[in-house]
Amino acid sequence: MNMEKIKLGIIGIGNMGSGHANNIKSGHCPAVQLTAIADIDSDRLRWAKEQNYAENITYFDDAITMLDSGLIDSCLIAVPHYQHTVYAIECMKRGIHVMVEKPAGVYTKQVKEMNACAAEHPEVVFGMMFNQRTNCVYRKLRELVQSGKYGRIRRTNWIITDWYRSQIYYDSGNWRATWSGEGGGVLLNQCPHQLDLWQWICGMPKMVEAHLHFGKWHDIEVEDDVTAYVEYENGATGVFITSTGDAHGTNRLEIQMDKAKFVVENNKLMMEEYEMSEPEFSKTNQVPFATVKSEKREVETDGENPQHIGVVNAWADAILHGGKLVARGEEGLNGLTLSNAMHLSAFLKKPIELPFDDDLYVAELKKRVNTSRKKSGKAVFADTAGSYAGNS
């Protein structure tokens, strides 16, 4: 039986690009036909051909040539961070549906330009690869937090230190962990999913103050240890801690609300529900050292966690049948705003109010790109005419 399919091109056949290609090859994305692959690395293209992802794939050593080939109607971008927005915009200008790997970009100014282009091309289905949003645990947590049943958020804490990387990881590519190659460290490489989930579940803060250590645990120039404090409009506070230096780290998200506490750890969602809200208890209780009665339990979920496959299948359904995306492309701005604010706070050694000055961040980032150990990096900055140029 013939099935309607999107004709997909992949830009970048590295770790992530090849992972998506393998999912399609394995039949996990039945509405996707892989028709083209582009990569500037001839060795990777040669390797990709040997994988036999599908019949009649055309290979390109230039992404723009692929976009102009007429062979694709959709494109998945899996290239170094600075180029995410560049190729997304080129897709949109050609009416090609686009899915962008995380992060949305390196700095907010370029992502806002990408989102503005998306607004000019409503015919394009634009998605972000926020696959952790498909995790049943985080989906259920968001539902509970935003239900209104448990009052306001009072405090959020996420310690996500199980991103351990030894030095050989960073030595595997001269672009890794450099300002010119990646534009940041653990915040931009490992943590975009958690930053997205944090704001998706809890909302955006109004202020960020962060302490970053650059090359604390490794011979790198970007951050590998982060402690950030945030404040929300309603008076709630939050802390976000991450590192690639803890050999056996922790992944624990805790959200304290008026009438419940939620904890996500070890792939489980635990809930402690209070008999009454804390503000009500505090006002009526007459016993000096008493605390509100509560009940602890594990929260049941639907068990579904399709990850990258779920994101791609939802995107294909949105293109073919008007279905709903897991994450709209424009939503990539929020998590990046958090990481940029953390960087800027560390650069300037002061708290950062949101929204911050996009141009100020670019100026501070350029200072670090210009002194990066990788002098021939892939950093891309927009000039006043809206075109892009990489550093040399």
**Using one digit for the tens of pLDDT, what is the confidence trace for 197-243?**
999 999 999 999 999 999 999 999 999 999 999 999 999 999 999 99
In the structure, what pLDDT confidence band is assigned to residue 383 with cuts at 50, 70 and 90?
A: very low
Phi, psi (5° rounding) for residue 169? -60, -45
DSSP label at residue 334: H
Average pLDDT score over residue span 98-102: 98
Closest among 176, 232, 226 to 201, alpha carbons compared: 232
User: Mean pLDDT across the chain, nearest whole number?
Assistant: 95
pLDDT tops 50 at residue 364: yes
Residues facing 97 on adjacent strands: 74
Q: Which residue has the higher pLDDT, 116 or 387?
A: 116
Rg (CA), the chain: 22
**Using one digit for the tens of pLDDT, what is the confidence trace for 311-362?**
999 999 999 999 999 999 999 999 999 999 999 999 999 999 999 999 999 9
Range name among 61-75, 173-187, 320-334, 338-352 with the lowest pLDDT average: 173-187
For 180, other C-beta atoms within 10 Å of its C-beta total 25
Average pLDDT score over residue span 141-166: 98
- CB environment 373-387: b (16+ within 10 A), e (fewer): ebeebbbbbbeeeee
Q: Which residues contact 144 (CB under 8 A, 6 or more apart)?
A: 150, 260, 262, 271, 299
Note the pLDDT of residue 379: 76
Note the pLDDT of residue 389: 32
Note the pLDDT of residue 391: 31
Q: Which strand (E) or helix (H) includes residue 210?
A: strand 207-214
Q: Is 319 helix (H, G, I), strand (E, B) or coil?
A: helix
In the structure, what pLDDT confidence band is assigned to residue 1 with cuts at 50, 70 and 90?
A: very low
Token representation of residue 257: 């609300």
Is residue 373 within 8 A of residue 359, CB to CB? The reply is no
Cα-based torsion angle of the residue sequence 128, 166, 253, 206 in order, rounded to the nearest 10 degrees: -60
Note the pLDDT of residue 8: 98
For tokens 């915040």, the residue is: 187
DSSP codes of every residue in 112-163: HHHHHHHHH-TTS-EEE--GGGG-HHHHHHHHHHTTSTT--EEEEEEEE---
Average pLDDT score over residue span 6-23: 97
Q: Is 181 helix (H, G, I), strand (E, B) or coil?
A: coil
DSSP codes of every residue in 255-287: EEESSEEEEEETTEEEEEEESS-HHHHHHH---
Q: CA 336, CA 107: separation in Å to the nearest integer?
A: 7
Q: Which residues contact 98 (CB under 8 A, 6 or more apart)?
A: 74, 75, 76, 77, 87, 88, 91, 92, 124, 125, 126, 127, 329
Is residue 240 within 8 A of residue 109, CB to CB? The reply is no
Range name among 30-39, 63-72, 255-264, 372-381 with the lowest pLDDT average: 372-381
What percent of the chain has pLDDT above 70?
95
In the structure, what pLDDT confidence band is assigned to residue 377 with cuts at 50, 70 and 90?
A: low
Domains of the chain: residue spans and CATH: 6-132+307-327 (3.40.50.720), 134-304+328-392 (3.30.360.10)
pLDDT tops 80 at residue 378: no
